[in-house]
Structures are given as structure tokens and as C-alpha cells.
Chains A and B, each alone.
Chain A
Amino acid sequence: MIIDWNNFTPWSALAGGVLIGISASLFILLNGRIAGITGIIGGLFRPVAHDAGWRIAFTLGLIAAPMAWLLFGELPEITIDAGYGLLIAAGLIVGFSARYGSGCTSGHGVCGISRLSPRSIIATLAFMGTGFSTVYIMRHLLGA
């Protein structure tokens, strides 16, 4: 393992993490809801009366974030190297499996671990494990 000190951004990572934590905290303490994007979006596929509003509002907040950022400065660099075929395949896999496993990086990884939920700790270990393995296979075995 070689740490890439040039691209390691500890302070902005920590500060961004704290903001994510504040968001999840506000959401549970004020709205009584888990800030898990998979669950928030998933609920829209099963319409229940008076339930869609907050889900749409949270999602609009996420989408508006880069525009709000632009009021104060330039957006940081965003690089997507993957081609369209891979993006579509990965999107399908991520969408299906996040619902199948009842959560993603936000619901299990941030909120679930904060709740010390054994389910979420296991789910997070599982996706971290295959995430590391997938990148290893793609970059170091297949050389993609």
C-alpha cells in the first residue's frame, strides 16, 4: 500500500463528513427519518398517501447542492473515466442491490453505523469488501 499524499485531502474530507453527519442528525432529530438515499427513493416506488413530499424534498436538496455550491465558488473536479456501457451496468447493479440489501453507503454506512446497528455494520463490511476487490480486479488484474 502506497498512500497518495498529493491527493489525500484530510481536512476537506473530515469537514465534508461532518456536514453529512449534521444532515443525517437534523433529519432524524427533526423529521424522524433515516437519511438513507436508497430507502428515500425506494419509497417513491410504493406510493403511500402523504409520504412522497419529504422524499422529493430531500432529493431536490441533493440535486440543488452543486448549484448552491456555485453561488460561492467553482465546483471541485469531477472525473468519470468509465464508459457508458459500464456506467449502465453498474447503475443497474447498484439500484437493484441497494434495495435488495435494504440500504447503501448513506443508510447503512453512515446512519446505520451511527446507530451501531449490527445489520448495517455487516452490510457496510460486505460492500466495502467487494468494493475493494472489484477495483483490485479491474485495475490490477484486468488492467482496465
Chain B
Amino acid sequence: MKNRLGNASALIFALLSGLIFGLGLILAGMANPAKVLAFLDLAGWWDPSLGLVMGGAIAVGLIAFKIAGKRSSSFLGLPMNLPTSRMIDKRLVVGGLVFGIGWGLVGICPAPAFVLLGTGSVKGIVFLVAMLIGMGLFELFEIYCKSKQASTKS
């Protein structure tokens, strides 16, 4: 029973976290692709707002992750899933560089894409569907890489 309750509260807090995240994006203006592009347009009429969004989020996050780093389980008793990889490899750098190109083309990144779906924006939904296809293509690419590795080993 306790376990069931634990699962239920985990789901409720996941929903609540997603909701607060989305409200934060809307309030910050990050759900508006034109405002994101205005931040990325250093040589035009520059809107520095997005920098403050990152700053505000990180200021709060620094404290939470400091606490989280000292714990082995969450306050709900769930395992603490903090990333352990420290490797700075080609994937990280190339992935980041290419991600910035896609982001800079239209001003939409993954979280705001879901918020745009909630607003009913047709253009937002088109982006979201393409993004999900892109993520699916990555899974196929991973399968391809693994099979290639396996065949070179044998």
C-alpha cells in the first residue's frame, strides 16, 4: 500500500512539476518563439530577457541540486537519478552544436514545443511532430551503430 501511495504521489508531483515548468516558460516569454529569437539576435534589436530566465532558474536550481547531491534517495523515498557521466566526447559537443542550429532556425526547443501543443498552435504542433520523428530517427541510428559495432567485433 505504501508503495502504491508512493507511486501515486510520484505521478502527482511529476504532473505538478511539468505544470509549473510550463507556466514558468509562458510567464518568462520562452513559449513565444519570436522572443527566443530576439534573444539570439545579438546583432539586431537584442532582447536580453532569456538570459534572466536562465539566471533565475539556475539560482534556484543551484540550491536544490546541492541538497540533492548529498542524498541517496529523494524526499519521497525514490532513488536519486543524477547523471554520472563525466565524459566530454564527440557526441556531447556535436550534439550541442547541431542542436543550437535547429533552435536558432525557429526559436523552439523541446519543452516549449509541448507548451505550444497545449496552446493549439498548428505551427507548434508541426514542429513537435518533426521533433518526435527526429528523436525516433536517433533510436534507429543507435540500433544501426550497435549492429555495426557488433559486426566489426565478430
What is A's interface to B at a CB cutoff of 8 Å? Answer: 1-4, 7-10, 12-35, 37-38, 41-42, 45-46, 50, 53-55, 57-69, 75-82, 84, 86-102, 104-106, 108-119, 122-136, 138-140
Contacts and interface: CB of A to CB of B under 8 A. Distances in A.
B31 to A, nearest CB: 6
Given A7-B45, A30-B75, A63 B22 contact: yes
Interface string B89-130: 001111111111111111111110111111101011011111
B138 A100 contact: yes
Contacts of A67: 118
Contacts of A122: 88, 92-93, 96
B13 interface: yes
Contact of B133 (A66, A95, A117): A95
Interface of B: 7, 9-35, 37-38, 40-65, 67-69, 73-76, 78-83, 85-88, 91-111, 113-119, 121, 123-124, 126-139, 141
A133 B51 CA distance: 17
Contacts of B106: 80, 82, 86-87, 90
A63 B47 CA distance: 26
Contacts, number: 500
A90 B75 CA distance: 39
Given A15-B56, A87-B123, A130 B104 contact: yes
10 contacts: A18-B60, A28-B64, A60-B18, A63-B22, A92-B133, A94-B103, A95-B138, A105-B110, A113-B58, A123-B92
Contact of A139 (B41, B54, B87, B108): B41
B123 A82 contact: yes
B69 A32 contact: no
B92 A101 contact: yes
A83 to B, nearest CB: 9
Contact of B21 (A23, A78, A79, A109): A23
Given A24-B64, A131-B40, A30 B127 contact: no
A87 B53 contact: no
Contacts of A16: 24-30, 53, 56
A130 B98 contact: yes
Most buried by A among B18, B19, B98: B18
Most buried by B among A24, A61, A89: A61
Contacts of B32: 76-79
